[in-house]
Each structure stands twice: as structure tokens, then as C-alpha cells.
Structure 1
Amino acid sequence: MLTVNAKEAQEFVLTKILERNQATEYLSKFMNGSTNISAFKRHVPVVTYDMVQPYILRIATGEESSILCGEQIVELLRSSGTSQGEPRLMPSILKDLDRRTFLYSLIMPIMNKYISGLGEGKAMYLPFVKAETLTNSGIPVRSVLTSYYKSPRFLHREHDLYNNYTSPDEVILCPDSLQSMYCQLLCGLVERHHVLRIGAVFASAFLRSISFLEQHWCDLVNDIRFGQLNSNITSPACRLAMLRFLALPNSELADQIEAICSCGSWKGILGRLWPNVKYIEAVLTGTMAQYIPMLQFYGGSGIPLVCTMYASSESYFGVNLRPLCSPDDVSYTILPNMAYFEFIPLEDGLRLIDHEEVIENDKLVSLVDVKVGCYYELVVTTFSGLYRYKVGDVLQVTGFYNQAPQFKFICRRNVILSIDSDKTNEEDLHRSVTHAKKILENRNYLLLEYTSYADTSTVPGHYVLFWEIKSTCDESPAPLDAQLLESCCTAVEESLDYVYRRCRAHDKSVGPLEIRLVEAGAFDALMDLLVSHGSSINQYKTPRRIESGLALKLLNSRVIACFFSPQDPECSMQALRMKFSVHGSLLGLLHCPSIIAVLYA
């Protein structure tokens, strides 16, 4: 019904938002008390976080919620803070929990259309909470997932067959993520024959847990064998909750797990440890696509990878109605009751408008009026005080489900590397690294993780990539020689855009790209560091750019070898024309200022 009546549902949502928030200081500046939708579209500007932040900070320090929202703001949701720097604080009202719960409630009915019997077993889903703080005015500051896991909707789910987790709530709610991870893995191993699905919110968090299991399986086996919890688990709540799992020694189960974990290669380990598992669930789109090869390595060919939903701290957006599709083909159907959605058209998906550029109001497109194949930047208006807010996500329309459009997530709108006139965004970097890592895969290596850094300590400055690599061979892999990594450097540079290659080869304003190979576990240590400084392990995404500071110092301390691109990348106009021919008409690209500058040069 929602998708059949998407247009009406969106108009109803916006009308209710305007009625409830018309008297706020923020909306009154533009609407003068009106609740007219046309007036909203004419007068309320499209904004970024910097424009909303002063209002949020005023509320955090004690002013009334009514300056921004007609209802009481009960919590501030802290974003992950690893996509674009510092965490952002998003206002949230009590009824937002209903909207989030509504979307969660759709996931298992959708899955049941494709996989039967999911209510007959348990989920080894690995959720984690983060310790919350209070503002000066007493408003809780926490991640959106911590908010949900601490809510009555999650804690009072006794009759929900599909939310029967292997771990007790006390373990899930432990704020020490490593103690929680240890106990959740232990519960999952004890219940191994009852587990039908496994996963975590983000692929990175799930892989971190598997890496943790790889390091600590001996301790977990001993706990099962002797029926006693490891003394390193000091949380009283965890120890008490784990008593029923370790009531008696179980040497038979311990022997089974030990035999599996000590067999050598961990390829396909998840299917051997949890023989009845039907799928792995995690966010696998955007930069999380980097983790697909490792999930396939650990899961083996027989376990599907499933990506179920699209959400953020600002709002929840939609669900994947074809959960068993390839991760590369995931599209999300936007639910029109979550918020009011508008879209900034992006010309051919190539001209990404500068994030601070003023957007003319009449350029925005409503939810039901987007066009298949076109690219857009997402704008939301929420019940809790965000009005025409640019989320920063670039989406491509792939089709419609009734009247509701379906979108593929393309990338975050952020330039993450720049030395001179070059501007490399997250999508560009990911595409280039994906191209280069195929060289490693041909030599039986996997790129586990990567991040980047614009090193301006040299003249000229240059791009630095930190890479952590793992062998996929049961036997000794081919050596990681200099020529192999230098060829990866070259492949990355050849895949970056023309402006970068011109800066490198012609202007010499950018130096050769460098790959710094880091030791095993370096990116786990990076996660620990960032989580200890406020990020949530649930929402953690490896930052694709590292700023100077503790994170950079940590990674540099784990470097085991450095490699530089041995040659300038090709930057001929013929190569530029070939690139244009891939994307479409040259005429359409002439709207891009960076291309105009190149052609005039």
C-alpha cells in the first residue's frame, strides 16, 4: 500500500512535518507560519550539516527543542564520524523509534519469501553498543544502533521468532566491545547447530569479529571444554549471563571446534563452524563492497551474502526487496513513510556539484519523479528537525516497485584526496583500488583493508595508500616482491581521473603514488583506536582518508615496506577521449568545471 500510494504518502508526510514544526524558529524564518507545501519548496533552502549544527548545539546546551522541532528532542544520534571527519549529532524524537522499528519489521518477512524456516533456529547476529554521554542539558548522545538496542522494542521481543539471537541481552549491551565480541562468539559456538543466519550491521564489523575469532579460538575452545569463562572477561553482567552457556564442561563440542579451527586454511570456515547457516547478512554496498571477497573467502561459495536495508543516523530510508541478488546488484526500495525525500539531479552521474554550492530550490526532484538510470544526491526532511538536508549520498535509480523508486547506492559525496587541482573522491579511489587489487588476486593474495592519506610533507605532495594483505594459499604464497606492489601503484594511478594523471605526468605537481604495506592486524588496531575515541563498532567504517594525528601515527608504526609508482601515468588527450567514450557524450561532460579547465589548458 505504501509503494502503490507513494506520492500520496510523501505529501501526507510533508504536511504532517510542517503542521507539527511550523512554529519552530528555524521554519518560521522561511515559512512565516505557513504549512503550504508549495511555499516550503519555494522558500526553505537546501542545507548541509554546518548550517544546522548551530541549532543542534543550542539545544544540546539547554535551549528548548522548539527552536528546531515541534516535539521534544529526546536524544542526539551520533554518526559514525568516519566518512567525513568528526561525528555529527542528529536530533531524534520519541516517534522516530517507531519508524525505525517499522523498517526492521519488514526485513524477515521479505527474507521469508526466499528462504523458509528462519524462525526455527537462531541468529548469530553480532550487535554492539557504545557507551553514551549526556549533553549539559541532560540529553543522551549515542549511536542510532545503541539507541535501538537499548529500547523496549528490542529488549521486549520475546515473541519475535526472527529476533532469537544466540547471545543474551546482557552480553549485547556490554559497552566493552571486545568483551562483548568474545562472549557473543562463545555463545554462537555453543549454539553452532542452531544458528541459521550470521552477520553484523556492517561487513567491516563482522570481519573484525572473524579476525578476533581467528586470534582467540583456543581460549574459546578451552572455555567450552572446561565450562569456565576466561578470566579476561571482567564485566559482571557478562559473567553472570554466560553461566547458563557454560554450566557444564563439553569436551565433545570443544573437540569439534578445535578440529575445524586448527585445520590450516580458514577458507570456508563459517560454513564448517555453523553447518546450518543459510546466509550472511551485512551492509555490502558503497565502500563496504571492499569486504565482499573476504566474506566470500571465509564463507565459501555456498553461503549467500545478503544486504537487507539502507539507513543512516539522519533517517532510515529503505529495504532490499531482492535480498539474494548479487551484492553488486543491490537496490533499495525507498519507503515513503520514513521521511520526505527530494533529490538533486547530477548530470550523467559525473558532475558532482560542490558540496557547499547553493542549490536552487526548483532544481530538486520529488521521490516519484526521479528517472530510471539517472544519478541524484539525496535530500531529506524529517519529523525531528532536519529540513531539506543533504545527506551526502549519491544514488542511481534502477527501477520502480509500484510508484516507489529503487536506488543503487553509488558513493558518499566527499573529496578525500587532493594535492593540487586534482580532486579524488571516495568512489574514484575505491574504483582504482578495486582495479589494482586484481593483480594481487592473480597471485593468491587478498587486499584485506585500505585507507589513504595526502602526504604534503614532500615536494610535490603525493597520495599514500596503506594496504593490509592476506594470502589465500594453503601453501606458501608467491613472495610479495617490489615489482608486484609497484605494478599495483601503477594500476591505481592509471585508473584515477585525467586531472590527477595530468598533475602527475605533465604538471609534476603531484608526486608518485606510494603504497605502504602494513603488518597483519594494523587495521584492527585502527578500529580499536577510533572506537576508543567515540566511534561505534556497529557503525564503524574504515575511514578512506586518514588525517594527521594518532591514526596516522598508528598506521605508520605498523608499516613493513613502502613501494612507489615507477612511472608516470598516461595522460594523453587520446586517453581522455577514450574515457569520455565510455561514459557518454563529450558534450554532456563540458558542464564539469574541472574538465573545462583541462580543455582550456
Structure 2
Amino acid sequence: MLPGYDPNYDDEASMKLLEQLTTNAYEAQQQVLEQILAQNVHTEYLRSFLNGHSDKKHFKEKVPVVNYEDVRPYIERIANGEPSDIILAHPITELLTSSGTSGGQPKMMPSTAEDLDRKTFFYNLLVPVMNKYVDGLDQGKGMYLFFIKPEIITPSGLLARPVLTSYYKSKNFRKRPFNRFNVYTSPDETILCPDSKQSMYCQLLCGLVQRNEVLRVGAVFASAFLRAIKFLEDYWKELGCNIRTGHVSDWITDPSCRNAVSLILGKPRLDLADLIEHECGKKSWEGIIKKLWPRTKYIEVIVTGSMAQYIPTLEFYSGGLPLVSTMYASSECYLGINLKPLSKPSEVSYTLLPNMAYFEFLPVEKNSEVAEEIQCVGISDQNGTCKEDRKERAEIVDLVDVKLGHYYELVVTTFTGLYRYRVGDILMVTGFHNNAPQFRFVHRRNVVLSIDTDKTNEEDLLNAVTQAKRLLEPLGFLLTEYTSYPDTSSIPGHYVLFWELKMKGKDDLPELENAIMEQCCSIVENSLDSVYRRCRKKDNSVGPLEIRVVIHGTFDSLMDYCLSQGSSVNQYKTPRCIKSEEAIKILDARVVGKFFSKKVPFWEPFKLQTK
């Protein structure tokens, strides 16, 4: 299922391959499913449903649509030492960790050696697409800020680590042919440095030294790129000093990293140091990207989904550069490519590649209320249940059978042992490229808060708030309502909770003690999942949580506003996350106290639970 071609020198062949894949989307999907079932029909998992049958009819009728909790026992058995053939005929070579579950432990997705080749194939197809829209990319380098994250060894000896850490440490990345799209300003040693601060510093230093060669800049997520800008704001003087003296700061102690950077830094560069100090010393950093890297043609970052909140800040720093989201991928599998990379962020659509996995779609009742839900994340039925979760919709549909303008939840069957697995992404069909549908990413199912790689759902937020409010109840305080929003006006962004409090028996609210409210903030943070706590403690990609206390009656005003915007009185419930700027203004205008967490929450790399 991985056609052979050389992406380094033949854009025409690459684009022809894309045309063939999308034209023959139905045939490719049937081949994918046939191959997956033929290989794995005798695994313990599929045998229990198919009893040896490997045809599509039995698959559709007998294999259930599942979520992570359904497959976790099988994956944990493999992590604890049982053979891969519980779920997969091919050997599982590692486990890829994704977002935390409601229990606080990251999900683990199986992966194989062949899967790395599939990811490389996917990355290589991005090259001709960008060359179609942007000329001269072979005349310079990319300043991409890539980082690795913690990994563990499971009892079986398999590594468990994030999908990008897996790829950056693989031979596919480290021994890649250095074609026009694989030349980066960051040496591999800086990308693979386990100390994120040293890695960030060294990658920025290399990027500044090679500023005249940089044609494109970026990171995987918009949040990570803006974190790099904030880091530059804090360290530009020291970086300039390194460039002026030709000496790397002494606190860069990772030997491989230090040696690689020293070779690039070379001799003192007084003119470059002066330029950096001149541009970075200005009062405003508007357009700083174009000023420091003047040949840059675009910024490549994911700005869809929860990352869309960073678009205004990116535009401030970019100096008018296009924001390019090239791909749609997940820990489960790599999914789709943006075939029009220079489109506006709000218009980005991804074409799913039909040879990457077998795709199915659960119809979601979003057509009439999606705009409202994106604003309020609170549309519900009278029992407070999300409409998309009430039941699986009528008939799950195949890739080529989705309908224009309709909303679906993505379901994948992968080459790595996931069968009819609900990814949790809600997508809208925006068009077709040949016979392959194109999708706009709408949001993650049930996720209400996200700053970086953290994904906090409504249930987890409720649990955290419940834990914190217990501190106040013995003091006579009642939490009558709450909501939240991700504040990205500063870097790093942070969670803001609006709390409406009252004293038992009276409406007036006495002065709140800072220490008590700060402790409430800390309890909320410690009650959130391990990915959030890692982002706070290890990655520093999320700032301290804030509680803003509002006056009595504030949430009545919020309800009045939502009703004025078309919400139903019968179906209204307080949205647990606010996206509307006007709604946030209503809440902020009634704030009587602001409190921040003073402690970094507890976190340690997850440990697999063994029986």
C-alpha cells in the first residue's frame, strides 16, 4: 500500500501519485481493509468477532465501533509482556502515547516498523504540494523547532513515547536524505536534546546564525512556535552575546548539543549581534519574524482546531507571512494533507489519503447548531447530554459516501491494530478532490479546554472544580456557577475559571483570602490529568491556572446574552467553556477578585499499572 517513488527529485511523479490515490479512493479503501483483515483475522481480538471470516460484510456487521477504554486492556496486556498477536499479526515495536484519559494516564497506541515507513511516505508527499504553491524552497533552509518528550520502558521492554518523539528518534528521520525539504537550521543533536530549555536555546541560536538562509519557519503546533517567540523575548540579549563572542553559554552542558552548535556558531559575528540587538530592543515586536528572518516565505504551524486561538498573536509577530497548516495527523495514524496550503486558516481543509488507514464516519447532528456550539461549547439536550453522544447515528458511512456540508466523527481501522476506533475528532465535509472528500477539523469530541497538547473535557473540569470547592464549603461559601476559557493573550496561555460564589444565607460576598483561593487554584490543577500537569511542570507550555470570582447574578447575565444569540430556553445550560469574546467581556466586567495558582502541580512520567 506504499507506492514507490522518489520525492526528492520528481514533483511531477509525486503529484501524479496523489491524483491516482484520490481518483481511486474507493478502490484504495477496499484494498486497505482487505489487507488489514487478511493479515489480522486470526488475532485474538478479531477472532472473537469474525470467527475466521475476513470479508467486509462480516467486518461491518460483527466488529463493534469502540473507544479507547474498550481496547486499553488489550494494549496493556501487550505492554506487560504478552505477544503482539493479541491484536496484530506483525510485531509491535513501540507504543505511542497521546493525550491523557479521564483517569489521568496517557493513551497508548500500538506501532510497527512499517508504520514509520508509512509516516515517511506521508511526509514526503508534503514536498511537491508546497513546491506547487511556493517557488524557490530549494534555495535555503527551514528553521523548524522540534522537540522530544519523556519516554518510558514498559514491562515488556517496549518503549512508550509520543508519536513525534518516536519519529525524530527513528532512523527514518536521523538518516533521511538531505533533500531540499529536509535541510533544517537545527542540527539533529539539538532536536534530540532531552533538556527542553537547552534544546530551545540552541535551536534559536542556530536559526539566528543562519538567518539569511531561512526560507520557512515553524513548529508542529502554533502554541509551540509562540512559546519559542516568548523564549526569544527572554533570551535575545544572551543569544546576541553568544553571537558577538562566538562562544556558547556555559549552561549549555549537553555535550552533543554544545558541539553541534559550536560548529555552526563559529567565529564572532559583530554585525549580526548588532542587528539582533537593534530589532529585539525595539518597544514593539510586531513583524519580528520578517525582521529577523527576512527571506521567510511562510510560517508552518497547525492553526486548526484548538490552535486557531493563536492566529491573532501569530499574525502580530509574522509581518504578514502566510500561516500554513500542511497536515492532519494523530497518534492513531497519519490522516490527511492540505492540498491548498496557502488558504486562510479558517478555510483549511484536509484531504484524507485513502491508503493510510480504513476510514469510516459516524454522522453527527451538527448541521444546524454547530456555529452556536463552537461559540459556547455547551449545546445540550434537556438532560445535559451532548447530542453527538446520545447514540451512534443511523449508519456508519465509508470515506467516499460522506455528504458535502455534513458533520462526522472520524473512525479508523489501522495497520497497527486499531479496529473501528473512534478518534474523537469532529469533521465537516467541505468538498472533494477527485473522489476523495476534504474535511475541515471542527473540534475534539468533549474537549472544552486546550492550550497546548493538553485536552481537558467537561467531566474532568467538573471533577477538578468539585475537588477545589470542598475547601470553601466549611467556610460557608457556595459555588453557584462556573465556566472557563483558554486565555492565550499571554505566552504561555493558561486556563481561566470564572466562579460565582455566595455565602450561605446571603447574597453579599465578603472579602476572599488570597491564600485560600490560591489553594483552590492549586487543587484544580492537581486534579487535572497528567498531560495538563506535564505541560505545567515539565514543558512550561501552560501557565498557572487563574480563578476569577464574579459578583452575584453574573451568570444570569451570561444566560441572557446566550438567549439573545439564539440559544433555546428549554435547552440552555451554562456553557463550561466560553469562546465568544462578547461573553467573556460580560464576565470580566463583573470580576471582583483574581487569583493564581502559586504551586506547580505534581507530575511524574506515567507508570504502567500491572496486575
TM-score norm. by structure 2 comes to 0.74
Of 409, 414, 426, the match for 2:441: 409
Shift of 1:175: 1.1
Aligned to 2:482: 462
Counterpart CA distance in 2 for 1:128 and 1:53 is 27
Counterpart CA distance in 1 for 2:272 and 2:531 is 33
User: Partner of 1:398: helix, strand, or coil?
Assistant: strand
Aligned to 2:361: 343
Residue 330 to residue 294, structure 1, CA distance change in 2 (3 Å) = same
Counterpart CA distance in 2 for 1:87 and 1:63 is 20
Asked if the contact 1:373–1:396 (Cα under 8 Å) also holds between the matched residues in 2, the reply is: yes
1:50 aligns with 2:50: no
Of 28, 36, 41, the match for 1:17: 36
Any gaps of 5 or more consecutive residues in structure 2?
1-19, 370-379, 450-455, 471-477, 503-508, 575-611
Counterpart CA distance in 2 for 1:203 and 1:577 is 30
Asked if the contact 2:21–2:353 (Cα under 8 Å) also holds between the matched residues in 1, the reply is: yes
Aligned to 2:136: 117
Aligned to 1:215: 234
Q: How does 1:198-597 map to 2 (within 5 A)?
A: 198-301=217-320, 303-349=321-367, 350=369, 359=392, 363-414=395-446, 416=448, 456-457=469-470, 458-465=478-485, 467=487, 469=489, 554-555=544-545, 563=550, 567=554, 568-569=556-557, 571=559, 575=563, 578-579=566-567
Counterpart CA distance in 2 for 1:402 and 1:293 is 33
1:161 aligns with 2:180: yes
Aligned to 2:204: 185
Residue 359 to residue 593, structure 1, CA distance change in 2 (3 Å) = farther
Aligned to 1:3: 22
What is the CA deviation profile of residues 537-574 of structure 1, one whole-angstrom value per residue up to 9, with x for unaligned ones?
Answer: 999986xxxxxxxx8xx435xx7x75558632265799
User: Structure 2: which amino acid aligns with 1:359?
Assistant: E
Shift of 1:160: 1.4
Residue 465 to residue 324, structure 1, CA distance change in 2 (3 Å) = closer
Asked if the contact 1:83–1:541 (Cα under 8 Å) also holds between the matched residues in 2, the reply is: no
User: Partner of 1:348: helix, strand, or coil?
Assistant: coil
Equivalenced residue count is 499
Residue 572 to residue 562, structure 1, CA distance change in 2 (3 Å) = closer
User: Structure 1: which amino acid aligns with 2:230?
Assistant: S
Shift of 1:106: 1.3
User: Structure 2: which amino acid aligns with 1:460?
Assistant: T
Asked if the contact 2:364–2:388 (Cα under 8 Å) also holds between the matched residues in 1, the reply is: no
Shift of 1:152: 1.6
Shift of 1:108: 1.9
User: Structure 2: which amino acid aligns with 1:253?
Assistant: L
Most deviating of 344-353 and 41-50: 344-353
Asked if the contact 1:344–1:379 (Cα under 8 Å) also holds between the matched residues in 2, the reply is: yes
Counterpart CA distance in 2 for 1:380 and 1:536 is 31
Shift of 1:459: 3.2
Residue 20 to residue 467, structure 1, CA distance change in 2 (3 Å) = same
TM-score norm. by structure 1 comes to 0.75
Most deviating of 128-137 and 342-351: 342-351
What is the CA deviation profile of residues 149-177 of structure 1, one whole-angstrom value per residue up to 9, with x for unaligned ones?
Answer: 11122112243111100011111111111
Asked if the contact 1:531–1:537 (Cα under 8 Å) also holds between the matched residues in 2, the reply is: no
Counterpart CA distance in 1 for 2:563 and 2:99 is 39
Aligned to 2:87: 68
Asked if the contact 2:91–2:112 (Cα under 8 Å) also holds between the matched residues in 1, the reply is: yes
Counterpart CA distance in 1 for 2:52 and 2:424 is 29
Aligned-CA RMSD value: 3.8
Aligned to 2:167: 148
Asked if the contact 1:342–1:378 (Cα under 8 Å) also holds between the matched residues in 2, the reply is: yes
User: Partner of 1:163: helix, strand, or coil?
Assistant: coil
Counterpart CA distance in 1 for 2:409 and 2:549 is 37
User: Structure 2: which amino acid aligns with 1:234?
Assistant: T
Q: How does 1:124-135 map to 2 (within 5 A)?
A: 124-135=143-154
Residue 309 to residue 84, structure 1, CA distance change in 2 (3 Å) = farther
User: Structure 1: which amino acid aligns with 2:557?
Assistant: P
User: Partner of 2:215: helix, strand, or coil?
Assistant: strand
Asked if the contact 2:248–2:258 (Cα under 8 Å) also holds between the matched residues in 1, the reply is: yes
Shift of 1:245: 1.8
Counterpart CA distance in 1 for 2:439 and 2:538 is 24
Asked if the contact 1:77–1:144 (Cα under 8 Å) also holds between the matched residues in 2, the reply is: yes
1:195 aligns with 2:214: yes
Asked if the contact 1:145–1:538 (Cα under 8 Å) also holds between the matched residues in 2, the reply is: no
User: Partner of 1:323: helix, strand, or coil?
Assistant: coil
Any gaps of 5 or more consecutive residues in structure 1?
418-423, 430-451, 472-487, 494-500, 505-510, 543-550, 581-585, 596-601
Residue 570 to residue 273, structure 1, CA distance change in 2 (3 Å) = closer
Counterpart CA distance in 1 for 2:224 and 2:102 is 15
